Amino acid sequence: MAAKVTGYSRAQVALHWIVLVLVAFQFLAHDGIEKAWRGFRSGQPTPTDAAVLTNMHIGAGTLVLMLALLRIYLRLTRGAPPPPADEPRLLQLAAEAVHLLIYALLIALPLSGAVAWFAGVAASAKVHEWLTNALLGAIAVHIGGALFQHFVRRSDVLMRMLSPQRD
């Protein structure tokens, strides 16, 4: 049972923003692995100019998986601050659902990528591609929600992911 807390810990805040940087890298620098994947599918070796970016994609993706598991562990053991008391129940549920979806995608993405890459399963690469779009959509809604909380509802939700609780 998670303890009652009023803010995110230093580790939770740091992990949130580190994962953001890693995920942004995955979306901005996937050319290498796409080239390598196309080469693999047509029986060609990975082109040398794509090898570094390919390894970085696999490395950063694996790191995202490990950090997502660590975040879920912290979430379950330490807990997360409750939503603002005056927040409509529907908004609370929507925010929780989007967080849950993002966590699920941060696990499913590296796994589908690994099955495609290490076992050569083309269908898994397709799933990986669909999941990248789902993650982009979820992140867009998530950022919209954070900005809505800050500028429209004027709650402390955005600030608590910027300044950790002292504990």
Task: Determine which residue in the list 76, 143, 144, 163 makes contact with ligand HEM, applying CB under 6 A.
Answer: 143
Q: Which is nearer to ligand HEM, 48 or 56 (CB)?
A: 56
Q: Give, as ranges, the residues between 61 and 80 that touch ligand HEM (CB under 6 A).
A: 61-62, 64, 75, 80
Q: Does 81 bind ligand HEM (CB under 6 A)?
A: yes
CA distance 85 to 9: 20
Q: Say which residues have a Cβ less than 8 Å from residue 5's Cβ, sequence separation at least 6.
A: 78, 79, 80, 81, 165, 167
Phi then psi for 120, rounded to 5 degrees? 65, 35
Of residues 140, 138, 162, the one with CA closest to residue 150: 162
CA distance 157 to 167: 18
Residues that bind ligand HEM (CB under 6 A): 16, 19-20, 23, 26-27, 30, 33-34, 37, 57-58, 61-62, 64, 75, 80-81, 83, 95, 99, 102-103, 106, 109-110, 113-114, 116-117, 125, 128-129, 132, 139, 142-143, 146, 157-158, 160-161
